[in-house]
Every structure is written in structure tokens, then in C-alpha cells.
Structure 1
Amino acid sequence: MPTIPLPETLPPNAGALLRLIAEMLVPEDLRRVAEADYGQRADEHLAALREIVSGGALDLGQRVPGEVLELARWDQPPIEPSQEQRHWRRAFACTALLGAYGRAENEGYVHGPNQTLIALIDSLHALERILPTRERWRAMAGIDAAGTALLAWLTPRLSYEPFAEAAFFGLGLLWFALACEVEDPALVALAEWIMATEDATAAPLPDELGAPLPGDWLLGTTVFNLNHDLWCLLGARLPERLSPRHGPQVVEAVCLISAMIVHHPDD
């Protein structure tokens, strides 16, 4: 990992995003998540999920409710208005897991956190597309700022070896921060941090693996690759997060990262 600190974007906050997403759930949603493991121990899971909504900590060393949250993370709702609550449920499950990843006592139970992060971003992006304009403003108000604050808190805490995934979280932070009132110098510094962190993570892998890297830029730094298609989609969508207020340095940095993550040797 590089020694440079994560650039400041918005003040870190571990719980704001979970609170916002929980407000979009209806009582049936928690029940659906609690039943994700074929209904097994559903009442126990439901009680534990309610505690998390109330501000309780998630212990990933316990099956309840970690197992159903991890199962809900793998849901793949279509981008259709009728699937709105499924997207909120997946976003809730992913956000609860991300909050747990930042707690030191859960470190030994974290596997492939990039897969959780990108599922969250995918559902939030879907919700932006399917919600009617008025509902979108009501539902999504504060989401990007809260996502920025969560990843500003979480990213420095991710240092698991040998496949550290902090660069993925820096990219997720950039995704959210581009939609917030974050100044251009901080965004450019964040893009540079992502590149430096990816490079530091990738450099020792050939020696450690005894083989070339198993993939392209960023995606080749982790063995947890079940959601790499979603990361490629994020890369393609990243320039859409730019707005007229962003200067040429931000535009250049974002377009470079976009091109690097969507590139494939066979293209």
C-alpha cells in the first residue's frame, strides 16, 4: 500500500448511508432479507436486522444476520420500476456489510469486499434510472454525499493482505464524490491515489503468485472476481458522472481511469 494518505473529500461517516437507505425500506423488505437463506432461522435474522437498522453493530463472525445479508448481496434485480424494492434491499444489505468491514474485529471474516461495494453502486445507479423524477429527488437526496462519507471512513481501513482491495474503494469513492460538492484538486488527488494504490497492490503479485497478473488493470489485483462485469460497467459509466463544473484535469483523470478499467487485451 502507498504511504500517501487518502485525499480528503467529505468528512467520514460510517452510518449515514445506512440510515438513508433504511428509510426507503418497508416492513416487508426486512422480512424478505431475513428469509434469504430459504427461510432458515428467519425470525432470528429478522430480529438481528432490526437491531442493525436501530444502530446495532454487525458481527460477521456470527451467521445471524451476516449470512442473509451476504446472500441478499448476490441478488441481481433487473432495472425496472417494479423491482425498486429489490434494489433497496440489495443496497441495504451491501451497506450493512460495508459498515461491518471497517470494524477491526471483523477483519478475518471479510472476503472480496469489492464485490459488495459494486453491487451497492449498481443498485443505486439502477434506482436513479427507474425512479420518477419527483420520487428520485426525494429518495436519492443525500445518497451520494453519504456514500462519499462512508467510503472516506472505510477505505483507509482496508489493508487486508495479500489481495488488498483499497484501490477498488478509492474508485467507488470517486464515483460518489463526482456527484458531490468536492473540489477539483481533491478529485484529481483521489484519482492519483487510486492509480498509486493499484500500482502498489499489483507490483508484488507476480512474485507472490509465481505467475503473471490474472487480469487487467485493477481487476487483476484480486481473486474475488464474480462482479468484475459490474466494475467494467462502472468504468464505462464513470464519465457520465462528470458535470460542467468539473475542470479539464478532473475530466482527463476520470476518462483515463474509465479507459483503463474497461480495456481488454482482445479489444
Structure 2
Amino acid sequence: MRTPDTPLLAVPPALVQAFPPSLNGLLDLARAYATTPVLMEMARADYGEQVDEHFAALTRIRETGEVPAPIGWVPQEVLELCRWSEPDREETSEDVLREHHVRAFACAALLRAGAEPANAEAVWSHGPTLAQMTASALALGPEWIDVLGGFLTARLAQPGLADERPFFAFALLFLAVTARGGPLDGDALATAASWAIDEEAAAAAEYFFGSPPSRAPWLLRIDVSDLRDDVWRSFARRMRDEAPALPPAARDPILLLAEAMLDG
């Protein structure tokens, strides 16, 4: 399995240029939508336990943009609980938007906390958190996609993701595909797809001690939690559906990758 000493593969320069690295931009945007009612809803998430303490800690994150390192039960517990929330499509558009802002703030704070070495043992399941964050970014619009991409290019330049690193690589590729018509051309997308494949292959080789299963779904074969595999598959389906409209150089690599993820 990957360790903190495992060499990192470089993020393709075109992705770095398309999504300028910023560890703080995602949380900063989420903070702008974390109204007092949003924070109070989050503070009550743990069955109403320690509401005042959670609310105060969440408010500090909103006001300062800094996450505790090391992080404690307060506010980690409510951040993790709100991470799993699922906006109800049958509610009003205003309610759905608020629920995405709740989830986005929770996920952004957890992802930013996970980038702090002092939280290495406390904050984990980065992959499922990223899946939830990516789904909310898609719902909330292009500005969220841009800052999430910037967080990913910054985070992938750091150690500490271990076996979950390929999920960050795939998410970055997925954002680049959904932002087609933006700054990446076909050759750049094809290079990004090859890089994501290399990231997954390196992680799988270590995770399975050199003998990864050949027929297991790509990427999901190394999912240590499988908590949000359905979300990852939804991204692969969208990538597959959008592949025909991509530039010719990227079409086949993106389609093959998506289909490999949906197998099994």
C-alpha cells in the first residue's frame, strides 16, 4: 500500500494551468455561503449534542478560513455527518441549494483539514468526501468546479493521500472533461487521461502487492471504503456520455477509461 514516502507522479502542466492550485479557494467559496442558519443546521447534526460548541467551532472556520489542526471531535463529528447528506430533489430549489451549501461547507472543511499534516491520523476517507464535494460542485455551478479543480491540483502536489490519490486524479480529469469548451484541448485531455491511468495503476500495484485483479472495475478496485462507489460510477457514466463530443484526440482514451470504471 502507498505510504507517505511513495514518490508522487506530477500533475500534467495543462491541468495545473487550467486549474491554478489553491488549497484555500474551495473553503473560501464555501465560507461565503455558510450563513448563520446553515451553520446552525450543521451544529445540530449530532442529534442536538454540543450544539453551542459545534456552532462556535464552525463559526470560527467561517470567519477565519482556518481549520483546526489537530482537529477534534468538535467540529469534526458534525462535519462528517453533514458530509453524507443528500439534497432531496423533491424539495424546493431553494431548499436543495441550501442543502448543497451545507454539504459543500462540510466537505470543503474536511478536505482542507486533511491537507494539514497534524490531521493525518484524524481525517481520512478523503475519497468519499471528494465524491460528495464533486457532486455538489456540479450542482452549484462553474465557479465551484474551478475552485475544486484548484484545490485538487494543489492537494495532488502534496503527500498524504496514499491509496486515495487516484480518486483525486480521476476527479480532476472528470472536472476537465465536464468543463469542455474551456482551456483544455484534445491532446491535453488525452495526456490527463493517461496520467490518471498511471496514478491508478501505481496505486493498484502497491495495494495488491504487485498483482492487481484484472477484471475488477478500474479505480474502484482500490476503494478502501466503497461508501460512495455509486457516486464515482455516476461520474464515469457522465464522462462516457460526453466522450463523443470531445476532441478526437481525447475521445477514445476518455471513453475507454469510463467504460473500464463501469465494468463489474
TM-score calculated relative to the size of structure 1:
0.83
Q: Paired residue for 1:236?
A: 237
- 2:259 is equivalent to residue 262 of structure 1: no
Name the counterpart of 1:39.
48
Q: Quote the Cα distance in structure 1 between the aligned partners of 2:70 and 2:216.
A: 29
Secondary structure of the corresponding residue to residue 177 of structure 1: helix
Structure-2 residue corresponding to 1:49 = 58
Contact 1:191 1:254 in 2 (8 A): yes
Seen in structure 2, the aligned counterparts of structure 1 residues 233 and 96 have a Cα distance that, compared at 3 Å, is same
The farther-off stretch of 49-58 and 85-94 is 49-58
Are the structure 2 counterparts of residues 79 and 240 from structure 1 closer, same or farther at C-alpha, using a change threshold of 3 Å?
farther
What value does the CA root-mean-square deviation take over the aligned residues? Answer: 2.6
Structure 2 CA distance for partners of 1:59 and 1:67, relative to 1, 3 Å:
farther
Q: How many matched pairs?
A: 248
Q: Which moved more, 1:50-59 or 1:33-42?
A: 50-59
Is 1:27 the counterpart of 2:36 in the alignment? yes
Partner of 1:135: none
Deviations, residues 17-76 of structure 1 (Å, cap 9, x unaligned): 222233233321110111111111111111111111121223354111111101111112
CA contact (8 A) 2:21 2:154 kept: yes
Letter of the aligned partner of 1:219 in structure 2? L
Q: C-alpha deviations, 1:80-119, integer Å up to 9, x for none?
A: 4242211211111011111111111111123221000001
| Distance (Å, rounded) in 1 between the aligned partners of 2:97 and 2:123 | 28
Report what 2:206 is aligned to: 204
Identity of aligned residues (%): 30
Q: Which residue of 2 aligns with 1:133?
A: none
Which amino acid in structure 1 is aligned with residue 80 of structure 2? Answer: E
SS of the residue 1:25 aligns to: coil
Match of 1:112 among 122, 125, 128: 125
Instruction: Give the secondary-structure state (helix, strand or coil) at the position aligned to 1:108.
Output: coil
Q: Does 1:103 align with 2:116?
A: yes
Preserved contact between residue 144 and residue 177 of structure 1 (Cα < 8 Å): no
Matched to 2:221, the amino acid is G
- Indicate the larger mover: 79-88 or 64-73: 79-88
Give the Cα–Cα distance (whole angstroms) in 2 for the partners of residues 212 and 11 of structure 1: 35
Q: Tell me how far apart the structure 1 counterparts of residues 86 and 116 of structure 2 sit (CA, whole Å).
A: 27
8 Å contact from structure 1 (residues 17, 150) kept in 2:
yes
Q: Distance in 2 between matches of 1:33 and 1:214?
A: 41
Does residue 228 of structure 2 align to residue 223 of structure 1?
no
- Counterpart in 2 of 1:74? 84
Q: Which residue of the partner structure matches residue 147 of structure 2?
A: 146
- Range with greater deviation from structure 2 (19-28 or 228-237): 19-28
Q: Deviations over 1:180-238 (max 9, x none)?
A: 73322433222111101111111133348x99589521111132111111111111012
Q: Are 2:69 and 2:116, in contact at CA under 8 Å, matched by a contact in 1?
A: no
Alignment correspondent of 1:85: 98
Gaps of 5+ in 1: 129-139
- Given the two structures, how large is their TM-score scaled by the length of structure 2? 0.84
Structure 1, 58-67 or 143-152: larger mean CA deviation: 58-67
Contact kept in structure 1, 2:204 and 2:212, CA below 8 Å: no
Amino acid at match of 2:235: L
CA 1:7–1:62 in 2, change beyond 3 Å: closer, same or farther? same
Q: The residue matched to 1:49 in structure 2 has which SS?
A: helix
Structure 1 residue 153: Cα displacement: 0.7
Distance 2:242 2:27 in 1: 22
Q: CA deviation at 1:141?
A: 4.7
